[in-house]
A and B are shown apart, each in its own frame.
Chain A
């Protein structure tokens, strides 16, 4: 079983819809990252969080440490939000704080 699981793997929605992408992890972590990757390869960091909730424009990220779960929400989705969204966790432990990635959620927003 992967240490980081994302769902769904693929998501297609109409422009304007509210989007939720989920990330569950099974290990102790010190931080969780949400990343966005557009076709062509470039990766952009959207959020880094260890507790609570963060908001940036139409994007909201939440994390529940007790339940080992995080969600990324996109409000009023737009075709330019079409990308692969990747959850990554920084493992907790001295000398073993490597970043472990989920397999990504491919989001397609249809105009």
Chain B
């Protein structure tokens, strides 16, 4: 069974540009969540999608957005990039967010560098 796949793995952008990251969950998983990891702030929750609906959202500015498609694949977008957006962006999938089925399976992450 294939794991969670994130693309691209590495990317470099300049300030003001926008970026789109993709996450393909484990087959059969309907919940996808996104996280930002930086040395200074650690892991922070961005948003969570279930069956194409955003269920929860973290405390990030509106430049950070996401969506989920009918096949459960998810994308996140960051517009007007700032230097502080440099981070490892992780996605995780689960069957659904419920107690018995909420175990998280993480992708390897997309490492974004903003110059």
Contacts and interface: CB of A to CB of B under 8 A. Distances in A.
**Do these two chains really belong together in a complex?**
yes
Interface of A: 30-31, 33, 35, 41-45, 48, 50, 86, 88, 90, 95-104
Nearest to A99: B45
B45 to A, nearest CB: 5
Nearest to A2: B42
Contacts, number: 55
A42 B43 contact: no
29 contacts: A30-B99, A31-B102, A33-B104, A35-B104, A35-B106, A41-B37, A41-B90, A41-B108, A41-B109, A42-B106, A42-B109, A43-B92, A43-B106, A45-B103, A45-B105, A48-B102, A48-B103, A88-B43, A95-B55, A96-B56, A97-B55, A97-B56, A98-B48, A98-B56, A99-B33, A99-B35, A99-B45, A101-B45, A104-B42
Instruction: Give 7 nearest A-B pairs by CB, closest first.
Output: A43-B106, A101-B43, A98-B45, A98-B56, A45-B104, A99-B45, A41-B109
B45 A100 contact: yes
Interface residues of B, number: 25
B44 interface: yes
Contacts of A99: 33, 35, 45, 48
Contacts of B57: 98
Contact of B97 (A42, A86, A97): A97
Given A35-B104, A41-B37, A101-B44, 19 more contacts: A31-B99, A31-B102, A41-B108, A41-B109, A42-B108, A43-B106, A44-B106, A45-B103, A45-B105, A45-B106, A48-B102, A50-B99, A88-B43, A90-B97, A90-B102, A95-B56, A96-B56, A99-B33, A101-B42
